[in-house]
Amino acid sequence: AQTVTQSQPEMSVQEAETVTLSCTYDTSESDYYLFWYKQPPSRQMILVIRQEAYKQQNATENRFSVNFQKAAKSFSLKISDSQLGDAAMYFCAYRTYNQGGKLIFGQGTELSVKP
């Protein structure tokens, strides 16, 4: 069975600085997707970025980028130029190829941004 681990329950960053959130996963599949979701205090889960396992190039989305290391089964999220609105719970998620594409989530990392 696939598992996703986020080892940092809480992180803090100064506004305008860069922060990296860690995520590792375990799977025997070769084809899958990885995601980072953001859940602000209002609780609406929002997709931040996605990565297809077959792509070697790391995904980027404006100030958000990932470091995808397939062999190491590592998928970290880098937030550059942090803003107050980035404060939220961040979840790393793995999507299975089968089983309706269900998501397997990590425990979450709560990010606070200091002004």
Partner 1 sequence: DVKVTQSSRYLVKRTGEKVFLECVQDMDHENMFWYRQDPGLGLRLIYFSYDVKMKEKGDIPEGYSVSREKKERFSLILESASTNQTSMYLCASSGLGLAGRTDTQYFGPGTRLTVL
Are 60 and 78 within 8 A, CB to CB? no
Task: State whether residue 100 is helix, strand or coil.
Answer: helix
Distance CA 103, CA 113 (A): 27
The nearest distance, CB 42 to partner 1, in angstroms, is: 7
Q: Which is nearer to partner 1, 49 or 79 (CB)?
A: 49
Q: Which is nearer to partner 1, 10 or 15 (CB)?
A: 10
H or E segment and range at residue 6: none
Residues near partner 1, by CB under 8 A: 4, 6, 9, 35, 37, 42-47, 50, 91, 93, 95, 99-108
Q: Which is nearer to partner 1, 2 or 58 (CB)?
A: 2
